[in-house]
Copies of this chain bind each other. A is one copy, B any other.
Amino acid sequence: MSQPVNRYRCDLRDMRFLLFEQFGLGELLGKPPFADWTRDDVLAVLDGVYQWSCEVLGPLNAVGDREGCVLENGAVRTPTGFKQAWKSLYEHGWRGLGVPPEHGGQGGPMTVSILTGEMMSGANTAFNMYPGLTQGVAEVIAAFGTPAQVEAYCKKLHTGVYAGTMCLTEPHAGSDVGAAHTRATPIGDGKYKIDGTKIFISAGDHDLTENILHLVLARTPDAPAGTKGLSLFIVPRDRLDGSGSNDVITQSLEHKMGINGSATAVLRFGENGNCIGELVGTEERLGMKQMFRMMNLARIGVGIQGLAVAGAAYLAALEYAGQRVQGPHIKAWKDPSAPKVPILQHPNIRRMLLDMKGRVEGIRALIVKLSMHLDRTLALRASGGDEKEIEYHAGQVDLLVPVVKAYASDQGFQVTVSAIQCFGGAGYIKDHPVEQYCRDSKIFSIYEGTNHIQALDLVGRKLGQRGGANFQAMLADIRRFVEGSREEAGLGPALDRLQAAADALGQSAMRFLGWFQAGKTELIGLYANRFLEMMAQTTVSWVLLEGGIVAARAARDLPEDHPDRAFYVGKHHAALHFAHLELPRVVDGARFMSEEMRHSLDIPDAGFGVLGQT
């Protein structure tokens, strides 16, 4: 076998397309809060992060997978090279792109940060979890901390002096966060004694920074049961006054299917009664609200992870398909003397690749759309813009977060599976990167709220937010797009299918409302995941078709041999392919929901199977 080229790749051209040709980032540059940012700055940052990701992070991806993290004498050792990469990351300032200048950052658009996040996560998912969580902790403290906390922690977190984690899960409190037992007992001065055990803590311990700030959800004395009784605490691993350990013990590390370079720890807080934390802000019982700010960012982050790994897997498969010669063209199927061709020429390989391309570019476009709504919110706020418009943009972010998290993680994983299939037997061995992508990405559908939690968030909270206005605004946007695109040639039945899908989505949302009103809560649980998928199929088709139209127009103006032409034509094909395949599934899903099948509910528990029988 030829030696594999095991390096990171991403599609910078598509990123530039989304930012400047489809979603209009240029309108926001040069004005507050991005007054210092130009188009050239953005392009330079994308190029710089890409180069750095390829050169520094990419080569450590397989290393981290192979070596994993090791717990020795109570401390975690990260894989070879991670310490140097951490240092280099913060020297380059790549984590500070979207961070306000007062916290040591560059105050750039979220959308740019997000695309650099795709590159860093795609090059090395496990490594990127350490700075990702650290940034999330800084943002929680910036939003909810006292001025003293912001002053003491944010800059140190944003510049890589400290790292951070989020500690929610306990042995009996996973999806049911409110069941957490960890206790926080006030000892005065905003300080608390912390006592409890947290599990599945990503980046729970490591050797990358001088200290780690854990954000710990815990229950104060006499607090009510459930999520409402939880408060959030900053709990440093080591005392901040330099007096040594804060009684946070790394009890063990999990041995996982993937992301081996990320230490997943069981943390014991207060084993010896000496673990001290401080409340975030000054008020107790705001823990869930505060944590949710981080969770929302973390959920977008998981969507980016799904996109990142899928994008890397797609391009790895594409490169392999262009190089691997196997068998004759299908037109000469049974002729042993026919010339052998690269497998990229085989229709089934092309089909798999176009399926992957559509999903990757569609998810990327949906994430950029979400993120541009965020940036427009910031821009409107900075310029004293219309409150209604701000509400609209913020509402679209809320609505799309669970869709992005769940769909990008599910489909990102499936793209890696398809990538293995494109490689054939070579995809199953560790000489090539795709099997690691598959293993790494399986966790995305589980952590930061399982994808069912996302679906319940969508149908149980987001659909009804602002009296349903966010969802209705989205449907209206789709209708406006459909009506405004009637003159475009070459779309076939895609527009009609998009409108039919949006209509089916609207009807299905009403069906949930009916179930709520009729007390058929169990049907909501049964069909929530399917609805989320339908919403993703619709919105991804929409943004792909929108981009496909932009691309087709751009291609029309180019000479046949212009290097951008194939790019534009490719985007148009991917959009139509995806829409054609996926939009009818939305209508099918609505019909399926309308039948209210209850077999899963009605089957007796013992009917699932008898365990241990002979």
Q: Which A residues are within 8 Å of any B CB, using their own CB?
A: 1, 9, 11-14, 47, 50-51, 169, 171-172, 174-176, 178-179, 199-200, 224-228, 254-258, 264, 314-315, 318-319, 322, 325-328, 330-331, 333, 336-337, 340, 344, 346-348, 350-351, 353-354, 357, 413, 417, 420-421, 424-425, 427-431, 435, 438-439, 442-443, 445-447, 450-452, 455, 460, 521-526, 528-529, 563, 566-567, 569-571, 573-574, 576-577, 580-581, 584-585, 588, 591-592, 595, 597, 599-614
Contacts and interface: CB of A to CB of B under 8 A. Distances in A.
Nearest to A522: B347
Given A14-B609, A566-B610, 19 more contacts: A1-B171, A1-B199, A13-B613, A47-B614, A224-B336, A226-B337, A318-B608, A319-B611, A330-B525, A331-B521, A348-B529, A351-B526, A351-B600, A354-B600, A427-B446, A566-B606, A567-B606, A570-B603, A584-B592
A428 B452 contact: no
A169 B424 CA distance: 12
Contacts of A571: 607
Contacts of A525: 330, 346-348
Contact of A425 (B169, B172, B178): B169
A608 B609 CA distance: 46
B450 A428 contact: no
Given A350-B601, A421-B445, A570-B606, A429 B255 contact: yes
User: Copies of this chain, how many?
Assistant: 2
A250 to B, nearest CB: 16
A176 B429 contact: no
A318 B609 contact: yes
A425 B451 CA distance: 12
Contacts of A452: 348
Contacts of A460: 333
A185 B228 CA distance: 80
Contact of A347 (B258, B566, B600): B600
B176 A340 contact: yes
A267 to B, nearest CB: 14
10 contacts: A12-B613, A172-B326, A176-B326, A256-B435, A257-B429, A346-B525, A566-B605, A569-B603, A584-B592, A588-B588
Does more than half of chain A's interface fall in helix, strand or loop, or is it mixed?
Answer: helix
A24 to B, nearest CB: 23
A440 B450 CA distance: 24
Contacts of A354: 599-600, 603, 608
A115 to B, nearest CB: 14
Given A255-B430, A613-B12, A588 B597 contact: no
A435 B442 contact: yes
Contacts of A319: 611
Contact of A340 (B13, B179, B445): B179
A451 B422 CA distance: 11
Contacts of A584: 588, 591-592
A46 to B, nearest CB: 9
Nearest to A585: B588
A545 to B, nearest CB: 13
